[in-house]
């Protein structure tokens, strides 16, 4: 499990004195994630998730926690941060900021069908619209400036063909981000990491019901189209090749647009944003793979997956330009 900062029973007991959540029934590490230390916490008052933030600072954290509270108040199913006795939404645990949020119902759907994609697309659009009046602003910290900073740090680990691809795409995205069309794209708070394992479905007798979106700790204000592209690049692909599955893409995007239709500029730059979404995760996975941080148990994601996705999206753009 990705636990960077272990917590003893005594430390947990002392820390929970600042909450009104009852007595601890169970406490265990979560076997996923590579950015934070996450634990399931069950108390006599309910089920929660405790997160110790390994990289986010106490200055950055209020954006994420306040965003989740805002979305929950607008009936978007997301984890709701639990206030401490003094009203704050986080405190310091082992010298790092930490928070407790409600645990959502359900489990990830790792083999989604178009029906699952419809629910995700619809809720993603609802989430975007619900965030329009959110007062805080923080950019997506893993956007273009982060790519520009970190591509040189990983370039030495790449083959010639990989280096050619990543440098060409960085140049393409730099030009795209500087364009007037990009500036005009609608924007607001975005999840920025809405992969299959960050969405829960509760399975009933007849069909799966969306349980909610979680893990908002890569969220930021970005173009809504970027958030849709990141989601499609995970929910609607063949995992072995990175190729898009047309039925799932159509289901997710149509469902999204029943709530918030794309603008003409969004329609024109859909492939550019699919490429941007692939670039973001290829760079971060390369960095985690080649420059890993220490953790008790940590398995970095395969960078090759998003290399394949990016090559597919670049090839699609090339084929479209030739027609």
The pTM for the full model equals 0.92
In terms of Cα–Cα distance, which of 284, 274, 210 is closest to 237? 274
State the DSSP code for 185: S
Q: Tokens for 239, please give them.
A: 């995992």
Angle between helices 270-290 and 144-154 (to 10 degrees): 40
Q: Are 27 and 74 in contact (CB under 8 A)?
A: no
Sorted by where each starts, the structural domains of the chain and their CATH numbers stand as 9-102 (3.30.200.20), 114-322 (3.90.1200.10)
Query: Going by C-beta distance under 8 Å and a sequence separation of 6 or more, which residues neighbour residue 318?
Result: none
Q: List per-residue pLDDT tens for the chain, 323 residues long.
A: 456 889 999 999 999 999 999 999 999 998 766 678 999 999 999 999 999 999 889 999 999 999 999 999 999 999 999 999 999 999 999 999 999 999 999 999 999 999 999 999 999 999 999 999 999 999 999 999 999 999 999 999 999 999 999 999 999 999 999 999 999 999 999 999 999 999 999 876 567 789 999 999 999 999 999 999 999 999 999 999 999 999 999 999 999 999 999 999 999 999 999 999 999 999 999 998 988 765 544 567 889 999 999 999 999 987 776 65
């Amino acid at each position: 499990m990705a636990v960077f900062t272990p917590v003893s029973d005594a430390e947990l007991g002392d820390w929970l004195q600042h909450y009104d959540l009852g007595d601890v029934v169970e406490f265990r590490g979560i076997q996923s994630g590579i950015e934070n230390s996450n634990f399931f916490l069950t108390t006599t008052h309910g089920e929660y998730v405790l997160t110790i933030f390994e990289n986010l600072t106490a200055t950055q954290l209020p954006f994420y926690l306040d965003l989740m509270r805002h979305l929950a108040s607008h009936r978007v199913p997301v984890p709701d941060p639990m206030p401490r006795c003094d009203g704050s939404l986080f405190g310091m645990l082992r010298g790092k900021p930490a928070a407790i949020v409600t645990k959502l119902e359900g489990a990830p759907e790792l083999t989604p069908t178009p029906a699952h994609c419809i629910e995700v697309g619809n809720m993603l659009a609802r989430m975007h619209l619900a965030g329009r009046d959110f007062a805080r602003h923080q950019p997506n910290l893993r956007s273009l400036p982060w790519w520009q900073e970190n591509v040189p740090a990983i370039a030495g680990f790449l083959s010639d063909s990989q280096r050619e691809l990543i440098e060409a795409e960085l140049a393409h995205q730099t030009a795209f981000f500087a364009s007037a069309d990009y500036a005009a794209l609608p924007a607001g708070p975005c999840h920025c990491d809405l992969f299959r394992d960050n969405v829960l479905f509760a399975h009933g007798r007849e069909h799966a019901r969306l349980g909610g979106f979680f893990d908002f700790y890569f969220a930021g204000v970005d173009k809504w189209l970027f958030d849709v592209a990141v989601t499609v690049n995970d929910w609607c692909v063949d995992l072995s090749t990175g190729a898009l599955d047309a039925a799932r893409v159509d289901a997710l995007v149509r469902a999204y647009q029943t709530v918030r239709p794309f603008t003409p500029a969004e329609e024109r730059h859909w492939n550019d944003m699919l490429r941007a979404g692939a670039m973001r995760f290829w760079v971060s996975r390369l960095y985690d793979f080649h420059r890993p941080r220490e953790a008790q148990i940590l398995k970095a994601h395969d960078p090759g997956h998003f290399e394949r996705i990016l090559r597919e999206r670049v090839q699609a753009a090339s084929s479209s330009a030739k027609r």
